Amino acid sequence: MVLVPGANAPVTNSSVTVTIECEKAAGAEVGFSAFLLNDSGQVRSDDDVCHYGQSSVASSAVTLASSANGRAVFQVELARVPAGVEKIAFAATTDERRSTFAKMLRIAVRLSDEIEAHIPTHGMDESSLILGELYLRQGAWKFRCVGQGFRGGLRPLSEHFGATAASTLPPPSATTQPVTRAVPEPVSLSKISLDKQRPSVSLEKGAESFGEIKVNLNWQRGNQPEGFLSGLLKGRNKEVDLDIGCLYEMQDGRIGIVQALGNCFGDFNQEPFIQLMGDDRTGSNQDGEWLRINGRHWHHVKRVLIYAFIYEGAPNWQATDGVVT
């Protein structure tokens, strides 16, 4: 059975494999998630969001088995769905800064061998999309093709379901090593350069808060050499695009991310008290990119890991002149 947006069909099996396929244009990126919803259409908590950083939820009622190259496979065990969950919505998100779903040539959702849903994408300006939903009606499960979404990427989609946008991104994975703590050095108000010889500096605060902590990433617009090959490749060279962001953990154990990719810009005056002040795509902005941390609320924050990465335009860091201050 083939469905179009708005159509629905009964689901006869309690074990359902949901396969999502997005035939995407070159350069487009897409991620997938599933939201377990109550009768009000809201998640009970962020634990009800299944994504590639939290691939199994609700005692394996919903599992993201694989996600790569525009294709995702969810395994749903309807018999394990907790009481109070009456709907499972499947969604896709693309990078709002660089593409919309108009760049997806085709989107199809297939439920085992029973149901297939086709979602037209021509002219779409949305960057997050509810593809379809399994829903409970009078004790029986059905599937509805939806095909509706939001501009603005991950944030409005998550807020629509009552989830935290950062929670749908993967948490940091790192092996904790025992650390011998040295007596902290006082912080000089002058600029300090950190390198392999001096990789860290103490930010031990006194009676007052830190105030505002500002981290800047700056670089210059990439200049490509002219010549025979550059003429052949004209239009294919990309300007260097670097990004700064951070992973954070709050004192209560919640984790999240602040970065332009995924439209997770954070908030300076509300949790997580960290905000990215825009996205410099080419290095042409003399101020670069700024990450602001509200030190007045540092007692809410357990730790922050600040990082920078190459989005495009350079093969490695040696080919950039990026500087973090």
Looking at residue 253, its pLDDT comes to 84
Taking the model in full, what pTM does it have?
Answer: 0.53
Looking at residue 277, its pLDDT comes to 80
The superfamily in CATH containing domain 212-224+237-324 is: sav2460 like domains (2.60.60.30)
Q: Which two tokens stand for residue 302?
A: 């357990």
For residue 138, count other CB atoms closer than 10 A to its CB.
5
Q: Are 15 and 89 a contacting pair, CB within 8 Å?
A: no
Q: Is the peptide bond before 186 cis (omega within 30 degrees of 0)?
A: no
Task: Give me the CATH code for the 2-168 domain, please.
Answer: 2.60.60.30
Looking at residue 123, its pLDDT comes to 82
At CA 6, angle to CA 4 and CA 11, rounded to 5? 80
Looking at residue 198, its pLDDT comes to 56
Q: Are 269 and 284 a contacting pair, CB within 8 Å?
A: no
CA distances from 29 to 26, 110, 153, 169, 286 (A): 9, 20, 12, 14, 28
Domain range summary for the chain, segments of one domain joined by + = 2-168, 212-224+237-324
Q: Specify whether the backbone of 299 is left (phi greater than 0), alpha (psi in -120 to 50) or beta.
A: alpha
Looking at residue 290, its pLDDT comes to 84
Q: Which residues lie below 8 Å from residue 129, measured CB to CB, with a gap of 6+? A: 91, 92, 93, 101, 107, 119, 147, 148, 149
| pLDDT tens, the chain, 325 aa long | 899 999 999 999 999 999 999 987 666 778 899 999 999 999 999 999 999 889 999 999 999 999 988 899 999 999 999 999 999 999 999 876 667 888 788 899 999 888 999 998 888 888 899 999 999 999 999 999 999 888 888 889 999 999 987 544 344 444 434 444 444 455 444 455 555 555 555 555 544 456 778 888 887 655 444 444 444 444 444 677 888 999 999 888 888 999 988 788 888 888 899 988 876 555 555 667 888 898 888 888 889 999 988 888 777 776 766 787 7
- Of 90, 159, 153, 163, nearest in space to 125 by CA: 153
Looking at residue 274, its pLDDT comes to 92
